[in-house]
Amino acid sequence: MAGAILAVNKPVGPTSHDITHRIKKLLKLPKVGHGGTLDPFASGVLIVVTGSCTKLMSYLSHSHKQYRATLRLGTRTETADTEGQVVETQPVPTLSPQLLEQLSRELTGTVTLQVPAYSAVKIGGKKAYEYARRGESVEMPTRTTTLHSLRLWQEKPDGIEIDVDVSGGTYIRALGEEIARRLGTVGHLCMLQRTRCCGISVQECVSLTDFDPDTPWQHWSIPPARVLADHDMYTADAAVITHLRQGRPLDMSALSRLQKGDLQDNPTAVILDESQNVISIIDVRKNRVLRNI
């Protein structure tokens, strides 16, 4: 595979696109993307893909993600984080550890959250934040997501600390607003860190200052199979791989099951060769190859 996957510890400030642009320029790589956007005010794990590995971008977004956040109670902002203007204030009730534990249990599992107005979700052919920046009000859609685990605790009277493991596509800003609403007030996130993504922890990431243009980019590369570990995986021998690359129909009986992934109701799976290199992404329900890598 003529490409690489890099795990970067994104700092607060730059956009995810800023990070990929810097890496592209620094390491002189022709094609660079990422596997899941982090807002400018957020930090933590950003999976960067280069070369042919950019073909995997859409499949990385399905991965479980873990976050640590601080929710400031009593003030709501237009962006649900520190980037926007305060648009509402409310008193902050007295909270108990028992109440927060109860709320954690209530929210764990499937939950429906309203997509933030400042987001890239398309509405009428335009991104939602384009309407918001012009002061235009539009009805925002909701999104059903899964909270695999949630822990809430309090360190300050007007703040809630959040540790959460979520399915792909979850807006943590929306979760923060929902937590505040259920506590009888309003709130916004004042800190957000992605602590884990695609099986990579923030402790394993490199910072932008670690990248040295004199060091080959392969030095920081992560095996593609590792960041796809949430998916079902199969192995195939050389003959089957040749057939796949020739565009022949997929024969599931010719594959050997390697592992069952953690993603629920996910039809996509990964085919590896005998050296654990990613060969193809397949749809096991439709019994077809989605993409050869």
Q: Is the confidence at residue 62, as pLDDT, over 80?
A: no
- pLDDT at 52 (0 to 100): 85
Quick check: is 49 in a domain?
no
Indicate if 39 belongs to the active site.
yes
Whether residue 147 sits in one domain with residue 235: no
Whether residue 174 sits in one domain with residue 273: no
More confident residue, 64 or 82: 82
Quick check: is 246 in a domain?
yes
Whether residue 271 sits in one domain with residue 181: no
Whether residue 259 sits in one domain with residue 183: no
Contact call for residues 233 and 268 (beta carbons, < 8 A): no
Whether residue 183 sits in one domain with residue 132: yes
**What CATH number does residue 158 fall under?**
3.30.2350.10
More confident residue, 288 or 266: 288
- Residue from 39, 81, 165, 232 carrying the catalytic annotation: 39
pLDDT tens digits, 276-291? 899 999 998 888 899 8
Q: Is the confidence at residue 2, as pLDDT, over 80?
A: no
Closest CA to 207 of 1, 4, 3, 26: 26
Whether residue 169 sits in one domain with residue 261: no
What are the backbone dihedrals phi and psi of residue 144, each rounded to the nearest 5 degrees, phi first?
-85, 130
Whether residue 238 sits in one domain with residue 180: no
The pTM assigned to this predicted structure is 0.90
Whether residue 165 sits in one domain with residue 269: no
**What CATH number does residue 272 fall under?**
2.30.130.10
What's the average model confidence in pLDDT over 54-83? 92
C-alpha 139/C-alpha 152 separation (Å) is: 30
Quick check: is 2 in a domain?
no
Whether residue 70 sits in one domain with residue 170: yes
Residue keyed to tokens 């259920």:
182
pLDDT tens digits, 185-243? 999 999 999 999 999 999 999 998 888 777 777 778 899 999 998 889 999 999 999 99
pLDDT tens digits, 148-174? 999 999 999 999 999 999 988 899 999
Quick check: is 208 in a domain?
no
Q: Is the confidence at residue 32, as pLDDT, over 60?
A: yes
Closest CA to 168 of 230, 117, 105: 230
Residue keyed to tokens 């649900």:
80
Quick check: is 186 in a domain?
yes
Name the pairing type of β-strands 232-235 and 268-272. Answer: parallel
Structure tokens at 64: 């479980």
3-state secondary structure the chain: CCEEEEEEEECCCCCHHHHHHHHHHHHCCCCEEECCCCCCCCEEEEEEEEEHHHHHHHHHCCCCEEEEEEEEECEEECCCCCCCCEEEECCCCCCCHHHHHHHHHHHCEEEEEECCCCCCCEECCEEHHHHHHCCCCCCCCEEEEEEEEEEEEEEECCEEEEEEEECCCCCHHHHHHHHHHHCCCCEEEEEEEEEEECCEEHHHCECHHHCCCCCCHHHHCCCHHHHCCCCEEEECCHHHHHHHHCCCCCCHHHCEEEECCCCCCCCEEEEECCCCCEEEEEECCCCEEEEEC
**Structural domains in the chain (count):** 2
User: Looking at 138, 171, 197, which one is the last position of a domain?
Assistant: 197
Whether residue 266 sits in one domain with residue 159: no
User: Looking at 174, 197, 220, which one is the last position of a domain?
Assistant: 197
Whether residue 173 sits in one domain with residue 77: yes
153: domain range?
65-197
For all residues of the chain together, what is the average pLDDT? 90
